[in-house]
Structure 1
Amino acid sequence: MTETQLTDHDFTEADEPIRLFGDWLADAEQKEINDPSAVALATVDPEGLPNVRMVLLKGFDEKGFVFYTNFESVKGGEILASMKAAMCFHWKSLRRQVRLRGAVEIVTQEEADAYFESRPRGSRIGAWASKQSRPLETRFALEKSVAEYTTRHAIGTIPRPEYWSGFRIVPSEIEFWHDRPFRLHDRVRFEREGDLWRKVRLYP
């Protein structure tokens, strides 16, 4: 454990959330079996009905938490309409959970291009071939679309589709939860106040 990492019993002493989240994510990368960066992403549709699905966190820092998607998908449309979202990480083997919510920004063109270029070639083809969230007649129709775009981009670089980019959630609050016996869990919420964070300890 590094000097910056906090144990389950003293994480409540942390004075800011970003480094603490990094420590917990690093632990999850060592101990979670599958996709430690998987996170439930919550949005709201135009009628105010909540929607949730799993995505993969692709980066985080003091500016926010980043993931990428097709902006023409359901989640893309819902976020573009409200520019607000929430996330919930749950690492079962560590008995830890992190929740955050806040306003959303679109990442820069440079960030989106760099990440798209880093993806496997098949994933870049898939971004072109899949009309994400829209009705699919048959599995064959998807495979045919993949074949067509594979042929179209058989050589050279695969450009990023204009409708494919990233969102950054700029959290207004981040809550850390750790399981303790008899449901006497530890909960700490950090609330953003300008450039600073205010810490509140919560009843479980």
Structure 2
Amino acid sequence: MSHPPLQNAAGPLPALNRRMFMMTTAAGAGAAASAGASAAAEAGSAAPNPGTGSRETRVTINGRLHELKLEPRASLLDVLREQLGLTGAKKGCDHGQCGACTVHVDGRRVASCLTLAVKTDGCAVTTIEGIESADGTLHPMQQAFVDHDALQCGYCTPGQIMAAIACVREGHASSDAQIREYMSGNICRCGAYTGILEAIREAAPHVHRMDSRMEGSRHA
């Protein structure tokens, strides 16, 4: 017994086949995706401004006081490079493993890629841009690196120099073995380690004398 075709207001419904089923399903999925994108766009426009979570941070960098509004998750390295234009510290690995981003915070060396910028509130930060004299004379460690060709491509050199100064000040430059040990966190992919060792060995007494003069002038 035959049955009459199904009817709707527009007339008989077409017979359902595999092709029609696939086309209908695809059209439905597209409409759902479009609706989801519209909803996401509306939600995004209503999301709070990330700047509303910023924190006031006062930090002295290379002798100059900066009053900054910082996103709590921002690294010191990114703030130095992207907000302050101090690009001497390099982003090598961004995981604290290569030492290219080494700077000093209150006289101690740190990996700036792992240091939250807001944690330097009230601190003194020194970068490679801040170690030469006011008259433009190179720091003794910088000069020693030049004299001993302690660099090749130069990408790691700012971090090497900042770590080397800290190594001397920490009292860890009394022997070649000690220098190697306490500079092991700074990687030179060009392999200029021999020159770096010679530079630190030569510059160490000059760094000590410079620090003694600065200490004396502060107490004068």
Higher helix share: 2
Q: TM-score normalised to the size of structure 1?
A: 0.23
Q: Determine which structure has more spread, i.e. the larger CA radius of gyration.
A: 2
Q: Which has the higher contact order (CA 8 A, sep 6+)?
A: 1
Q: TM-score normalised to the size of structure 2?
A: 0.22
